[in-house]
Amino acid sequence: LYADALPHLRQLAQLSPKDVAIQDGLGEAFEKTGNQGAALGAYKRALELDPKNENIRFKFALLLLQSGR
């Protein structure tokens, strides 16, 4: 499911690079498919767009802890 969504989310991110929800969705899809580095990058971009988003901050921090970074 997540692997199938990735190409579509990447395309959406190119069309709407400032859409926080798309960056968050990319982060989640990357995380669920085991690509922690890409997930962290997507969450970071989402936070740059919306630094006060507590949900994304939590996901980003949790993934940092889980990955030992």
Tokens of 9: 């989310």
Task: Give the count of beta carbons closer than 10 Å to the beta carbon of residue 26.
Answer: 23
Report whether 8 contacts 16 (CB < 8 A): no
3-7, 46-50, 55-59, 64-68: least confidently modelled range = 64-68
Alpha-carbon distance 9 to 25, whole Å? 7
Question: pLDDT (tens digit, 9 = 90+) per residue, 20-57?
Answer: 999 999 999 999 999 999 999 999 999 999 999 999 99
> Who's near 32: CB < 8 A, 6+ residues apart?
2
Instruction: Give pTM, 2 decimals.
Output: 0.93
Max CA distance (Å), the chain: 33
